[in-house]
């Protein structure tokens, strides 16, 4: 019969007070002290196991449902997608097949299969066409001005709205700047004529004070700035929405910590707000670069007679007047196809640069 006294059973938090700790507990304590953050094999196994075996034992992988099972489960959502998918297919993807006429001498009374194939002749004719060079130059100038002068405006408006403390004032300001987006270009141009036209409000005030009327709406030299002003008035408020969403995703605790450390308003904007908005800014900048050759159609065709064809000729109007009005359908299609190819190349190049700078861009690159 053993005379040794058995150790007292441990309590809820360990061994009983005053009692010796078991050898296993002492070893586990020494291992935990030697390697902080690591548990014993038993503890790790209880939490999910070590390595792949423990993870699979704790979290068994669910078998992936088959295609028939997923169709039966999600048929309502798929049914809701059908109208949108058909619209996308019929009006966006099927017309892409019509770009084949850019490589043909297409005539409306011939089918695509009967039109003779001319290869790259239409693109060669585009390069030799002076009107195409003029349209390309005007498009690049207008796109560059819009990128430099218009792109920062929605960001600035979002910062202004975010700094407003009164919700009622914020809602009123948002409603005012959103409204012009829903107006057609016909109404926008008419409103600008009422303000800046020869008999508009500004010129009436100039004449009343003894000056001469200024042709704001008919001057070809200042027409690019007029275009940027019209675009900014119409779409700056609408473009602000996505930047407001980016601002809402920034943790308010960062502003509180910065304010507690003595950072002023502008330092908080520079070090917290703008870095928080940077992924969205990069994404929209890439998308704008992709559409840099698409500066609009209605806005320019409505003002073409006022400022002249040389000032208002862009790639979209060139394709319209060359293909639809002039009857050279193949050259019009070639101009549109060239614009699309250049836009795709610019998107891919800008996205690659974004990846090199550490941003996600429009899609994530492959992990290296």
| 95-139 tens-digit pLDDT | 888 889 899 888 888 888 888 898 899 899 988 989 999 999 999
High-pLDDT (> 70) share of the chain, % = 82
pLDDT of residue 354: 82
Distance CA 239, CA 232 (A): 10
Task: For residue 361, give the DSSP letter.
Answer: T
Distance CA 178, CA 165 (A): 19
227-252: per-residue pLDDT in tens? Answer: 999 999 999 999 899 998 889 888 88
Distance CA 201, CA 279 (A): 42
> Is residue 342 a contact partner of residue 226, using CB atoms and an 8 Å limit?
no
Distance CA 64, CA 300 (A): 54
**Token pair in block for residue 299:** 């806005």
Residue 32 has pLDDT above 50, yes or no: no
The predicted model gives 18-25 an average pLDDT of 45
High-pLDDT (> 90) share of the chain, % = 23
Determine which of 28-32, 179-183, 205-209 has the lowest per-residue pLDDT on average: 28-32
DSSP string, 61-113: PPPPPPHHHHHHHSHHHHHHHHHHHHHHIIIIIGGGGGGGGGGB---TTS-TT
> Is residue 246 a contact partner of residue 277, using CB atoms and an 8 Å limit?
yes
> Is residue 180 a contact partner of residue 237, using CB atoms and an 8 Å limit?
yes
Distance CA 276, CA 8 (A): 58
> Is residue 135 a contact partner of residue 127, using CB atoms and an 8 Å limit?
no
The alpha helices in 209-264, defined as continuous H runs, are 223-248, 252-260
Determine which of 36-45, 228-237, 293-302 has the lowest per-residue pLDDT on average: 36-45
302-315: per-residue pLDDT in tens? Answer: 999 889 888 999 99
- More confident of the two residues 260 and 43: 260
Residue 187 has pLDDT above 90, yes or no: yes
pTM of the entire predicted model = 0.71
Task: For residue 180, give the DSSP letter.
Answer: G
The predicted model gives 280-288 an average pLDDT of 86
CA torsion angle 348 350 356 359 (round to 10): -100
Q: Is the dihedral of CA 321, 134, 294, 311 positive or negative?
A: negative
Distance CA 184, CA 190 (A): 10
Determine which of 107-121, 144-158, 189-203 has the lowest per-residue pLDDT on average: 107-121
- More confident of the two residues 7 and 77: 77
Q: What are phi and psi of 210, to 5 degrees?
A: 95, 5
**Token pair in block for residue 101:** 């006429």
The alpha helices in 74-129, defined as continuous H runs, are 75-88, 121-128
**Token pair in block for residue 328:** 């050279």
Residue boundaries of the structural domains of the chain:
103-356
**Token pair in block for residue 9:** 């059973």
pLDDT of residue 261: 86
51-104: per-residue pLDDT in tens? Answer: 444 444 455 667 777 788 888 888 899 899 999 999 999 998 998 888 898 998
Confidence of residue 10 (pLDDT cuts 50, 70, 90): very low
Distance CA 19, CA 9 (A): 9
Cβ-based neighbours of 65, under 8 Å, separated by 6 or more: 73
Residue 131: closest CA among 275, 328, 281: 328
pLDDT of residue 58: 55
pLDDT of residue 59: 58
Residue 205 to residues 208, 211, 218, 229, 337: CA-CA distances in angstroms? 5, 9, 18, 20, 47
Distance CA 227, CA 146 (A): 9
Arithmetic mean of pLDDT over the chain = 80
Query: What CATH number should be reported for the domain whose range is 103-356?
Result: 1.10.3720.10
Distance CA 330, CA 322 (A): 9
Cβ-based neighbours of 151, under 8 Å, separated by 6 or more: 284, 285, 288
């Amino acid at each position: 019969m053993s005379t040794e006294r058995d150790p007292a059973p441990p309590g809820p938090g360990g061994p009983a007070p005053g009692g010796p700790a078991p050898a296993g507990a002492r070893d586990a304590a020494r291992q935990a002290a030697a390697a902080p953050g690591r548990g014993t094999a038993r503890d790790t196994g209880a939490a999910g196991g070590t390595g792949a075996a423990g993870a699979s034992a704790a979290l068994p992988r669910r078998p992936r449902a088959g295609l028939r099972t997923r169709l039966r489960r999600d048929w309502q959502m798929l049914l809701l997608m059908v109208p949108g998918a058909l619209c996308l297919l019929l009006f966006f993807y099927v017309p892409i097949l019509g770009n084949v006429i850019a490589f043909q001498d297409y005539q409306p009374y011939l089918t695509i299969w009967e039109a003779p194939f001319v290869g790259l002749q239409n693109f060669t004719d585009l390069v030799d066409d002076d009107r195409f060079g003029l349209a390309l130059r005007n498009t690049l100038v207008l796109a560059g001005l819009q990128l430099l002068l218009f792109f920062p405006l929605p960001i600035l408006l979002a910062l202004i709205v975010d700094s407003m403390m009164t919700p009622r004032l914020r809602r009123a300001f948002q409603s005012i700047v959103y409204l012009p987006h829903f107006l057609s270009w016909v109404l926008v141009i008419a409103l600008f004529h009422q303000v800046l036209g020869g008999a508009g409000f500004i010129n009436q005030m100039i004449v009343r004070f003894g000056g001469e009327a200024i042709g704001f709406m008919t001057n070809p030299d200042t027409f690019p700035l007029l275009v940027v002003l019209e675009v900014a008035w119409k779409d700056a408020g609408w473009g602000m929405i996505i930047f407001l969403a980016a601002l809402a995703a920034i943790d308010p605790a960062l502003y509180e910590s910065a304010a507690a450390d003595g950072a002023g308003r502008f330092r908080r904007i520079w070090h917290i707000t703008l870095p928080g908005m940077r992924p969205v800014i990069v994404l929209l900048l890439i998308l704008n670069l992709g559409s840099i050759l698409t500066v609009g159609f209605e806005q320019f065709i409505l003002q073409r007679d006022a400022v002249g064809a040389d000032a208002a000729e862009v790639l979209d109007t060139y394709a319209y007047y060359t293909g639809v009005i002039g009857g050279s359908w193949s050259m019009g299609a070639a101009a549109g196809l060239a614009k699309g190819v250049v836009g795709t190349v610019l998107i891919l190049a800008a996205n690659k640069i974004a990846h090199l700078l550490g941003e996600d861009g429009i899609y994530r690159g492959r992990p290296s």
